[in-house]
Structure 1
Amino acid sequence: MDPICTLAVVGAGTAGCVLAARLSEDPNTKVLLIEAGDRMSYFTKIPLTPTVAQQGPYDWSVRTTPQKYSSFGLWNQSQIIPRGKGLGGSGQINFMMHGVGLPKDYERWESLGFKGWSFKDLRPYFVKAFGTASAECDPEMCSADGRCPYSSIRFENKKAASIYILKNHRELDNIFVNKEIVLAAGSVKTPQILMLSGVGPEKLLKKLKIKVIARNEQVGKNLHDHMNTPVYVSIERPISITLSKIFKFNTLWDYVWNRKGLLSFPPMAGVEYFGNSALMLFAMGSASERLMRDLSNYKHEVFRKTFPFHHSSSKEGFIFLATCTQPRSRGTVSLSDISTNTPPLVNPNYLQNGRDVKCIVKALKRIIKIVSSKPFRDIGAKIHWPRPERCQSFWNGSRTSKKIPKPAKTLNKDLVKRTTVAENDKKDRVKMNTGNNFVSDDYLECVVREVAVTGHHAGGTCAGGTVVDHKLRLKSVTGVRIMDASVMPSPTSLYPNSVLVSMAEKAAEIIKHDPAIHHDTLQKTTDRRGGGRKCVKHVRQNGLQADQVYIAQAQVSENKTKDANRCGINSAFYRKKFAEVNTIKTTQQCH
């Protein structure tokens, strides 16, 4: 068995592209970057429109199992979690929000056994990752001739020896790796690959008759994600983004020729933190039923009750997204069968912990205070609370309602003692009144469980400290590391994309300075036909369809280094960094 590359990086997403670029800076290291998707569409390069690529050919569109504690307003109580499929990964179809979380987020990692990844440890890599000039993809150095779905890792004596990729629906290509395989396939695909390779919960593997290579009960566990509860706010000033404005010729002209105008801004306009609660302002006034309902999997009536102006393309307004930055609910990723073509069973267990609901309710209450402020009053801001049928029994907007809500916790304690329950109720109505509609905590909790949707930040399924060690090495085996969102033991405060870029920068340094890799020179090998790799033909593998194979070999010659080349990324500065590629060559397909 002759190796063809020093390292293989599985997944050209946020972390995978950084790893491939940095590791290939060593002229003696030959890096194979494997990606199941293709180069993404032009829409992902426009700041306002990357989410248009969701649920298309550039999205794995992961559907969760029916949720027990949430998603009551969604079809089958199932969430659709966008996962990028193509160069750039999920970072190509997100809202372009840059953030590194809070120092205490990383302190929590330390307490969970993931040592060496504190905020202080990562700070130099934040500077390294985002202190660079931007650049566009150089076609001469970046090419994609197809797609290369990965199947499983082949182990020899608990050491990763090669990785199988399926081609033409029936042929397995066996990619031999001299040193290490780095999994960067994301928080859903990475645990799936491990379990299909025989690393994971022993009982599950034996049930599916998968040979157990290494028992690790934590593979696929600890899935965490943020949830966002939308609240529409209408305004009377023409200052928001609407579909009628976007589809004007001048808007397109401004962006194409000047990179200005509405299309040059990401849809997320701002965020406010208070404790573990947060509010994000989504600047779109048009809540298109045709687009947003299908992306979120809302039931028809629930969507219309949540976004009252769904039929209008010119209505001015915006959407608040209330969230909890440190959710406590944890879920799982598991296998339903041994077919790589069958999506894994994803159960985030959203809102299983009641504290997550109260945390989001706190953010919803904050909306009232913000909208009541003078700047928002000046633009005629008015809250339109979601009114799903299931929550109507908790709605206290009607004058005939006999239910007396509990005194608000924000009232002065001495005042509560001196007043009757009825007087407290009257004061609560003053605090919570928006458009003559009173909302109680019970109502808001019901709304959260009814209409909250994924925050697109799934992680934790191969957590540092339990599945991988502090150097990202997979425990109980050798030759495998993991670097993607799955290694995050707990969530960062909102946006993880920039954090993953910095973590990948550090991971590259760790791998580069590993004596077992750094001091060895790649052994040059050829197969019987004189090619650069071996092929296993006509070997059947369950599922995993692919019409083409995409394999990018990233390598740098001593006299040819391009620091600023990027591949498959958008023009925003923090999107460009993670896909930095020095030199990429496309290998020929097997014949």
Structure 2
Amino acid sequence: MDQDIATFDFIVVGAGSAGCVLANRLTASGRYSVLLLEAGPRDDYLWIHIPIGYGKTMFHPVYNWGFYTEPEPGMHNRRIYWPRGRCLGGSSSINGLIYIRGQPEDYDHWAALGNRGWAWKDVLPYFIRSEHNTRGASPYHGDQGPQWCSDIRERHELMEAIIRGANELGVPRNDDFNGPTQEGVGYYQLFTRNGRRCSSAVGYLKPAQGRSNLRVETQALATQIVFEGSRAAGVRYEQRGRVRQARAAREVILSAGALQSPQLLQLSGVGRASFLQDMGIAVVKDLPGVGENLQDHLQLRLMYKVKKPITTNDELRSLWGRVKIGLKWMMFRKGPLAIGINQGGLFTRVLPESKTPDIQFHFATLSADMAGGDPHPWSGCTFSVCQLRPASRGTVMIKSRDPKAPPAMRPNYLSAEVDRRCAVASIRFARRLARTKALEPYLGEEYKPGDEAQTDEDLLEFAREYGATIFHPSGTCKMGSDPMAVVDERLRVHGLAGLRVVDCSIMPTLVSGNTHAPVVMIAEKASDMILEDAAR
């Protein structure tokens, strides 16, 4: 181990959606020094920055952790692939770019659970502060923030038909899912700027990297939080075969995500005492909630053959089609290269007890046997639907004291009865949409689930056989004051000094939508709290 241990005011573990925000905001005044540790490399890979490169990074051995769950009992004991970003920007460098905040009720619920300062009225200013929306400023949007949010610059014939079909079912058009109401159908806004991805690394970290009080270390895997008594005093990490250590004069902040923040806590002796003792780890703090409360959105992908050659499958099938896509992007920053995969969305209710939308669609003018896979050799599209607020709960627990060994991820999909009901109801709604008059000229055969699947049991069987993550694991270091909470309302780890968690894992309940924008908001709010506490 290196003998010279450098000291920083703050050490941030993980340069993902949250970590890049913290690195920028905590160094902005010049008063505090920050060490940002990232286990992966820099975000130099071309396909990170071109939106359709989502397909290139989905299985990349360098830029993706490529995790798999444990065999899932409710999913035919399948091990389900869980991609997570492994480079500057983290998962914001490889995600589907969709800009969704969730519903106001999500955050009001957090506050109702006892988390003061997390109601919708409290968090909306941070969403606005983070945002540079190409539509300009409004009561709901900002135009001065680092995180660019852009409209899709051209309309698609099939997406327009989907919107008309949804209108037939009573779902109104909605041109802003992050405005006054989420319910409706329309085009997504994307985290792009002029046809290029705007990850947290691009929006937040890049402008800060010239600051003398910020040090960014890549290829640096955090292996242990160093404690002095009950205070987090630093971090041990491995970099290019050498074990290094850094001290934190003020705080260690974990932003390694919902899988690796609890992993690092457990490796460092923070978690359920009996479990840690069984693993041969000395207990620093008995916190039974570490790694519990795992939640994720389960994705069910219905695919249809399209009667007209207007899909991305068609454009990618020929050399000339691919050349046209490339030229359109280079000349106009338009077309599939500028969008990624999903163009439009729909939020509606399918369960009688739901007071707000309980399902979300991602519509893609492309089809493949799995997300990020090779497109089908025929004209195709995908109606991907997920339940917004799943009741199923799982765990993330280390399997080894080796920090390089992935933890055991057990989401327990479809273990709750309401989740099974919602899965069936969402598939039935998707089929009703596909058979509307507006879509009759466009959609042909249902490739999956296929016409033979008709009963509730058939549709649930389809969900179990083909369902997969939509990449939103959350909740494993939840915020609260109950016995299973890991952090308080200021995101400080209960019972320990100098240690916070700032990422998706602090969500007590999963938000109703994609998670990147909420994590950026969490980090914006956390940075204010950290600076306030430091000033005291």
Normalising by structure 1, report the TM-score. Answer: 0.72
Distance 2:372 2:514 in 1: 23
Report the alpha carbon displacement of residue 37 of structure 1 after superposing the two structures with TM: 0.7
Distance 1:154 1:140 in 2: 26
Matches within 5 A, 1:285-324: 285-287=366-368, 292=373, 312=377, 315-324=378-387
Q: Is the 8 A contact 1:268 1:280 kept in 2?
A: no
Q: Is the 8 A contact 1:67 1:347 kept in 2?
A: yes
Distance 2:358 2:402 in 1: 40
Cα shift readout 1:9-56 (whole Å, capped 9, x = no counterpart): 110000110011001012110111110111232112112222421222
Matches within 5 A, 1:401-420: none
| Other-structure match for 1:432 | none
| Other-structure match for 2:18 | 15
2:258 to 182, 187, 203: 187
Distance 1:100 1:217 in 2: 30
Distance 1:167 1:450 in 2: 40
Cα shift readout 1:186-217 (whole Å, capped 9, x = no counterpart): 00100011011111010111112211111000
Distance 2:335 2:264 in 1: 43
Distance 1:485 1:24 in 2: 22
Report the alpha carbon displacement of residue 138 of structure 1 after superposing the two structures with TM: 6.3
Q: Is the 8 A contact 2:38 2:217 kept in 1?
A: no
Greater fraction strand:
2
Query: Runs of 4 or more off by more than 3 Å in structure 1?
Result: 133-146, 288-291
Where 2:414 maps in the other structure, the secondary structure is: coil
Matches within 5 A, 1:35-434: 35-40=38-43, 41-56=45-60, 57-70=62-75, 72=76, 77-130=78-131, 131=142, 132=144, 134=148, 137=206, 141=210, 146-169=218-241, 171-242=242-313, 243-244=316-317, 248-275=322-349, 276-287=357-368, 292=373, 312=377, 315-386=378-449
Q: Is the 8 A contact 2:24 2:208 kept in 1?
A: no
Residue 126 to residue 163, structure 1, CA distance change in 2 (3 Å): same
Distance 1:201 1:241 in 2: 49
Q: Is the 8 A contact 2:70 2:408 kept in 1?
A: yes
Q: Is the 8 A contact 2:420 2:460 kept in 1?
A: yes
Where 2:312 maps in the other structure, the secondary structure is: coil
Matched, 1:458 2:531: no
| Other-structure match for 2:139 | none
Cα shift readout 1:491-527 (whole Å, capped 9, x = no counterpart): 101211101111111111111111xx226xxxxxxxx
Distance 2:279 2:447 in 1: 49
Report the alpha carbon displacement of residue 286 of structure 1 after superposing the two structures with TM: 4.1
- Greater RCO (CA < 8 Å, at least 6 residues apart): 1
Q: Is the 8 A contact 1:271 1:278 kept in 2?
A: no
Matched AA of 1:493 = S
Residue 9 to residue 209, structure 1, CA distance change in 2 (3 Å): same
Distance 2:418 2:489 in 1: 30
| Other-structure match for 2:171 | none
Report the alpha carbon displacement of residue 339 of structure 1 after superposing the two structures with TM: 1.0
Residue 449 to residue 289, structure 1, CA distance change in 2 (3 Å): closer
Cα shift readout 1:369-403 (whole Å, capped 9, x = no counterpart): 2122222113244433325xxxxxxxxx6xxxxxx
1:32 to 10, 32, 35: 35
| Other-structure match for 2:198 | none
Where 1:190 maps in the other structure, the secondary structure is: helix
1:441 to 453, 456, 461: 456
List runs of 5+ in structure 1 lacking aligned partners.
294-309, 388-396, 398-436, 520-591
Q: Is the 8 A contact 1:60 1:84 kept in 2?
A: yes
Residue 264 to residue 360, structure 1, CA distance change in 2 (3 Å): same
Residue 319 to residue 224, structure 1, CA distance change in 2 (3 Å): same
Q: Is the 8 A contact 1:245 1:251 kept in 2?
A: no
Distance 2:387 2:471 in 1: 13
Where 1:269 maps in the other structure, the secondary structure is: strand
Q: Give % identity.
A: 31
Q: Is the 8 A contact 1:277 1:362 kept in 2?
A: no
Q: Is the 8 A contact 2:5 2:245 kept in 1?
A: no
Q: Is the 8 A contact 1:114 1:489 kept in 2?
A: no
Cα shift readout 1:63-101 (whole Å, capped 9, x = no counterpart): 11111111x2xxx61011111111111111111111111
Where 1:357 maps in the other structure, the secondary structure is: helix
List runs of 5+ in structure 2 lacking aligned partners.
132-141, 149-192, 194-201, 350-356
Q: Is the 8 A contact 1:44 1:92 kept in 2?
A: yes
Residue 291 to residue 20, structure 1, CA distance change in 2 (3 Å): closer
Structural RMSD (CA):
2.3
Matched, 1:480 2:481: no
Residue 343 to residue 355, structure 1, CA distance change in 2 (3 Å): same
Residue 115 to residue 269, structure 1, CA distance change in 2 (3 Å): same
Report the alpha carbon displacement of residue 261 of structure 1 after superposing the two structures with TM: 2.3
Report the alpha carbon displacement of residue 144 of structure 1 after superposing the two structures with TM: 6.9
Q: Is the 8 A contact 1:13 1:184 kept in 2?
A: yes
Q: Is the 8 A contact 1:148 1:165 kept in 2?
A: yes
Residue 360 to residue 208, structure 1, CA distance change in 2 (3 Å): same
| Other-structure match for 1:499 | 518
Report the alpha carbon displacement of residue 108 of structure 1 after superposing the two structures with TM: 2.2
Distance 1:252 1:182 in 2: 41
Residue 341 to residue 363, structure 1, CA distance change in 2 (3 Å): same
| Other-structure match for 2:151 | none
Q: How many residues align?
A: 446
Report the alpha carbon displacement of residue 442 of structure 1 after superposing the two structures with TM: 1.6
Q: Is the 8 A contact 1:39 1:144 kept in 2?
A: no
Distance 2:453 2:18 in 1: 46
